[in-house]
Amino acid sequence: MFIENIKVEFVAVYQIAGKKKTDKPTQHETSFGTLVLEVGLPSDEIDKIIEPILASFGDYVEARITMMTSNL
């Protein structure tokens, strides 16, 4: 499958404890980077680009990917 207009947003996800022991922690997100690939790629090539970048950030970072697909 051919994938076009790939947008990858890197988001740090973390929790902040409540002020009291009985308060539940709240989850927060901070976006700190976006990668846009306007050129099309085969679907099996995307991991080769995104995985090394994501691995360098650590466990607290997620990659949210949006894209368009075609059958070229």
Q: Which two tokens stand for residue 14?
A: 């973390």
Distance separating alpha carbons of residues 35 and 51, to the nearest angstrom: 13
Per-residue pLDDT of the chain (72 residues; tens, 9 = 90+): 777 888 889 999 888 888 888 888 888 999 888 989 887 788 788 888 888 888 888 778 888 888 877 665
CB atoms closer than 10 angstroms to residue 3:
19
Which ranges of the chain would DSSP assign to H, the alpha helix? 46-57
Q: Give the HSE-up count for residue 52: Cα atoms under 13 Å, Cβ half-sphere.
A: 4
- Give the pTM: 0.70
Distance separating alpha carbons of residues 25 and 30, to the nearest angstrom: 16
